[in-house]
Chain A
Amino acid sequence: KAGVTQTPRYLIKTRGQQVTLSCSPISGHRSVSWYQQTPGQGLQFLFEYFSETQRNKGNFPGRFSGRQFSNSRSEMNVSTLELGDSALYLCASSLNYVAGIRAGTQYFGPGTRLLVL
């Protein structure tokens, strides 16, 4: 079974631009989460989607948004890029998301490295 895929793998943008990152989960996985990894802040949760609905959101400004499609693929968008948005953006998928039911393990993609100049 293919793993989580993310595109593009590398991206260079300038301040003020916007960017869209894509994530395809493992086949059959319906939950997708996004994380930002920086040397200073470590790994921080951005948001989680299940059945095309945002289920959880981390403490990030509204410039960060996402969506999920009917095939469970997800995109995240960052508008008005700032230098501090330079980071590795990781997507993870998991199998289970039913309220009150035990959560599944999250499996990660290779990440998208974003550099903002």
Chain B
Amino acid sequence: AQTVTQSQPEMSVQEAETVTLSCTYDTSESDYYLFWYKQPPSRQMILVIRQEAYKQQNATENRFSVNFQKAAKSFSLKISDSQLGDAAMYFCAYRSSSLVMNYGGSQGNLIFGKGTKLSVKP
């Protein structure tokens, strides 16, 4: 079974600085998706960035970028020029690319880490 681990329960960053959130995962599959979701106090889960495992190039979205190390099964999120609005819980998630009917399993659905609470200091 796949697992996702976020080893930093809490992180803090100064406004305008850069912060990196860590995520590691375990899988025997070769084809999958990785995501970072942001959950602010409103509890709305917002997609930050997505990476497809078959792509070697790291995904970027404006101030957000990832460092995807497939062999090491590592998927960190870098937030540049941090803003107050970046304060939230950040969840790393894994999703298999092959969708199989599997009652009792979780293939094809998101497997989340426990989350990292990011605080941004003004």
Contact = CB atoms under 8 A, between A and B. Distances in A.
**A and B, one complex?**
yes
Interface of A: 33, 35, 42-43, 45, 48, 54-59, 88, 90, 92, 97-103, 105-108, 110-111, 113
B108 A56 contact: yes
Nearest to B107: A56
Contacts of B50: 105
Interface residues of B, number: 33
Interface stretch (B16-24, B39-47, B73-81): B39-47
B101 A42 contact: no
A56 B97 contact: no
A80 B46 CA distance: 32
Interface in B61-99: 91, 95-99
B45 A108 contact: yes
A86 B100 CA distance: 30
22 contacts: A35-B110, A42-B114, A43-B91, A48-B108, A48-B109, A56-B103, A56-B105, A56-B107, A56-B109, A57-B104, A92-B45, A97-B99, A99-B100, A99-B101, A102-B97, A103-B97, A105-B35, A105-B47, A105-B50, A108-B47, A111-B45, A113-B43
